[in-house]
Structure 1
Amino acid sequence: MELFYKIALHELIADILTIVDEREYSSKNALERVFKRVSGKDKERVRGLAHAYVFEIEKWKKKIDFIGNSVLKGTKIEELEPYLANLLRIGIFEMKFKKINPAIATDSVVRVVKERYDLNRAKFINAILREIEGFNVENALKSLKERDKTEYLSVKFSHPRWYVEYVIDLLGYENAIRLLLSNNKSQRYYIRVNPLKSDVDSLSEYLEEHDVRAARTPVSDVLKVLDYETPITRLEWYKKGYFVIQDLASAYVAHVLAPEKGEKILDLAAAPGSKTFHVAHLMENTGEIIAVDYSLERLRKMETKMKILGVKNVKLVHADGMTFKDMRKFDKIILDAPCSSSGTYRQFPEVKWRFNEEKIKKVIQVQKAMIRNAFKNLKKEGEMTYSTCSIRIDENEENIKYAIEKVGFNLVAYPFNWGERGFTEIGEMVFRSFTHLHDCNSFFIAKLKKE
């Protein structure tokens, strides 16, 4: 493989994993940052390989660390220096998941450790990987199951313990297992047509001509990708903005909002922009959409995407959705609230390891503050969609009850035409999707009105 400077694939992967861990970037964002300093004729092939490694290591991180910690003495893999820990994870992944020859897997990692650190650490990692070579994972899991069934499920399916406990309580044991299994399956792609440039029938024909099998979905402007020869993002129509990649449940939000031409719309947590642009498309570039986000970098990416998609009625505003206030009130508001992202584990496995109960409580306080601010910015008789990609009741149904009882919203009886209903006494009036039932992100949507 020819790259513009000498660096082993394992170094690239460890760099990306460390950025994901330390800076809490998405794996895609971390990959982009690392590959800015890489060039050469093999760049795209290496990029694809590195992405596959990072995605799978993040997905199976709990199980990988269980294997490593079963062998380590006096320390844990999480306590090692982050870059060194990630090199060890790469070795374990290659040996126990990819079934690469143990000697080759060990040698590849040890050489990098020797170059980046010193001979002593190289010997340490070599000894650990040699011991892992003979480690029987299934026997260790069987023993764990006898001691702690919940921790066994957490390790076996590589999910946080709190999540396993939560979904068993929420869905029952059998459906919880189905959800855990489904979260670990390959990502499902959905694409939404850009009506400013095409229509769903023309898009279907284009995809068929380019060896992409796609099917209709319950959301009229969204297609489900079943199979493809060429990656979707390499197709000319994607590059020119004829369609976007957007999760099925995410694309339902704009339809529930039901924007009308000429309206003034506020999106309080706009980036990365999928829902904002969808609303703009449904409004046919009429009216005005104020898209607020706290991240200037993400807003700049939205600006670039707007030009590709032909969106002209969106004004980007760098502000905090908890405090933003406009001189005029809005007809409708989208609040796709920041959340635990516990419904997106199939798509973004790295988020599994970022939240605990304490962090989730803080996120809920942000959600409530944004609900209060949305109410202040909304016209009388105005409507808001509240959505999250979380499975949790405290981020969803409980927040809607808060919006009704403490803020002054009324819950709209929207005729959801697919998905499941929710929980608690308001459950029949809200929308939920689950990865194991609907083959998309687990999602929540409710429609509220200010009367």
Structure 2
Amino acid sequence: MELFYRVSFQEVVADALMLVEERELSSKHALERVFKKVAGKDREKARGLTHAYVFEIEKWRAKIDFIINSVLKGSSVEDLDLYLANLLRIGTFEIHFRKVPPAVATDSIIRVVKERFDFSRAKFVNALMHSIEKFDVEKALKRLKERDRIEWLSVRFSHPRWYVEYAVEILDYDETVRLLLSNNRPQRYYVRANTLTTDVDSLRDYLEENGVKTALTPVPDVLKVLEYRTPVTKLDWYKEGKFVIQDLASAYVAHVLAPEPGERVLDLAAAPGSKTFHAAALMENRGEIVAVDYSYDRLMRMKEKMKLLEIKNVKLVHADGRSFRDKEKFDKIILDTPCSSSGTYRQFPEVKWRFDEKKIKRIINVQRNMLRNAHENLRDGGEMTYSTCSIRVDEDEENVLFAINRVELELIDYPFSWGDRGFLEIGEKVFRAWTHRHDCNSFFIAKLKK
């Protein structure tokens, strides 16, 4: 597939993978950047296929790298030039996952290597690709399972080893397998009615008329998408802001917080804005929401989305949620902190490879500083939600205990209407959703009071 002069499909995929890894962009935003400079009659077709390649390569990267490392003998894919490593990942993916004829996959990669590097590097890659073609993955995995069952799970289901170890510790082996399997299944889509402009019954009728089959959920303004003829993002009501795509557990946060019309609400980590916008709808555009985020670009995207959704009571503030203070205290606070995103692997497989224990400790420090600052911004008697899309107890229950014991917040015994309860001594008073149990992102919510 030729896109424009001397740029092949494999180069476009490799460029997107580079942005995902070096800039830590999502697959979606990496593709947006790459395709700004792509032209040609095959552009739209290539965009869809590129997204599929990038998404699947990130999902299966541990297994892909296991294959490459097994034939490298003595070194690893991490030792290679990153662009070259990504080309090898593309080739391996084509041969072992998409079942592209090996000669075709190898030739496509070699042509790019010759263009980008030199003949000696092309010779090296050609030899590797032939070894990759002949590599018996199932036989190697069987040997690995006999030697190290945790590493086998990590490679077989393509998850970081730390994640597998952690899941086995807090769940058990069999349930961890179910979680890993669920993380690798296609993302389940949920749509939330923008109740400023429509209601959930009207939305369901509209979707049905347009070939989208839905089901009701435990969250009253959210529908589960079961089947569709046309992607919901192509429908007029989506383009007009009458509904948004929002994960089920994420959409539960605003209902747990229950902001009232006329109240002052603070969102300390607002972008991309889903919970802010949901709170605004529940408040019927009355009162004030101060939406704080450290990313100016993301706030500007929120500004555009606010116009579409007809939201009028949100004030955007470019600031750090760890230190932001306002002149007046707030009645309610949404604190959906930055986290390891270990509950979102089905939706964003690239985040699997971005965290290790050292980085997670740093993010926990950020979370605790934001909890302290939330306490300072909350009026006496005010309420807040603390939420993450993480499976980890140290980001969830342990941080709530920190808020109780060190920040002097009180945990509210909220009557959660669905989901599971959590861990430790506060487990019965917090909310957890799991990908394999609830068909949404794994998620944590606690409601606190000053």
> What is the deviation of 1:5?
4.2
Do the aligned residues in 2 keep the contact of 1:184 with 1:346 (CA within 8 Å)?
A: yes
- Give 1:294-309 correspondences, 5 Å limit: 294-309=294-309
For 1:407, what is the secondary structure of its paired residue? coil
| CA distance, structure 2, for counterparts of residue 240 and residue 7 of structure 1 | 36
Q: How many residues align?
A: 450
Corresponding residue for residue 391 of structure 1: 391
1:123 aligns with 2:112: no
1:260 aligns with 2:260: yes
Do the aligned residues in 1 keep the contact of 2:153 with 2:164 (CA within 8 Å)?
A: yes
- Give 1:73-222 correspondences, 5 Å limit: 73-222=73-222
Give me the TM-score of the superposition, normalised by structure 1.
0.99
| CA distance, structure 1, for counterparts of residue 259 and residue 121 of structure 2 | 60
Do the aligned residues in 2 keep the contact of 1:411 with 1:447 (CA within 8 Å)?
A: yes
For 1:214, what is the secondary structure of its paired residue? strand
Q: Which moved more, 1:438-447 or 1:103-112?
A: 103-112
For 1:36, what is the secondary structure of its paired residue? helix
Give the AA of the match of 1:270: A
Do the aligned residues in 1 keep the contact of 2:433 with 2:443 (CA within 8 Å)?
A: yes
> What is the deviation of 1:235?
1.0
1:11 aligns with 2:11: yes
Corresponding residue for residue 232 of structure 2: 232
For 2:238, what is the secondary structure of its paired residue? helix
Deviation string, structure 1 residues 184-217 (Cα, Å, up to 9, x no partner): 0001110000011111111111111111111110
> What is the deviation of 1:74?
3.3
Do the aligned residues in 1 keep the contact of 2:2 with 2:9 (CA within 8 Å)?
A: no
| CA distance, structure 1, for counterparts of residue 241 and residue 40 of structure 2 | 28
Corresponding residue for residue 322 of structure 1: 322
Corresponding residue for residue 342 of structure 2: 342
Corresponding residue for residue 288 of structure 1: 288
Corresponding residue for residue 32 of structure 1: 32
> What is the deviation of 1:2?
6.2
For 2:7, what is the secondary structure of its paired residue? coil
Give the AA of the match of 2:264: K
| CA distance, structure 2, for counterparts of residue 256 and residue 103 of structure 1 | 56
> What is the deviation of 1:70?
0.2
> What is the deviation of 1:428?
0.2
> What is the deviation of 1:123?
1.2
| CA distance, structure 1, for counterparts of residue 372 and residue 306 of structure 2 | 29
| CA distance, structure 1, for counterparts of residue 164 and residue 243 of structure 2 | 36
Corresponding residue for residue 331 of structure 1: 331
> What is the deviation of 1:4?
4.6
Do the aligned residues in 2 keep the contact of 1:264 with 1:289 (CA within 8 Å)?
A: yes
Give the AA of the match of 1:443: F
| CA distance, structure 2, for counterparts of residue 262 and residue 44 of structure 1 | 46
Q: Which moved more, 1:436-445 or 1:27-36?
A: 27-36
| CA distance, structure 2, for counterparts of residue 348 and residue 375 of structure 1 | 31
| CA distance, structure 2, for counterparts of residue 69 and residue 4 of structure 1 | 33
Deviation string, structure 1 residues 95-123 (Cα, Å, up to 9, x no partner): 00111111111111111111111111111
Do the aligned residues in 2 keep the contact of 1:5 with 1:38 (CA within 8 Å)?
A: no
Give me the TM-score of the superposition, normalised by structure 2.
0.99
Call closer, same or farther: CA 1:202–1:41 in 2, change over 3 Å. farther
> What is the deviation of 1:14?
0.3
Q: Which moved more, 1:230-239 or 1:320-329?
A: 230-239
Q: Which moved more, 1:251-260 or 1:6-15?
A: 6-15
> What is the deviation of 1:263?
0.5
> What is the deviation of 1:40?
3.4
| CA distance, structure 2, for counterparts of residue 299 and residue 126 of structure 1 | 46
- Give 1:299-448 correspondences, 5 Å limit: 299-448=299-448
| CA distance, structure 2, for counterparts of residue 236 and residue 107 of structure 1 | 43
Query: Cα RMSD over matched residues?
Result: 0.9
| CA distance, structure 1, for counterparts of residue 263 and residue 447 of structure 2 | 17
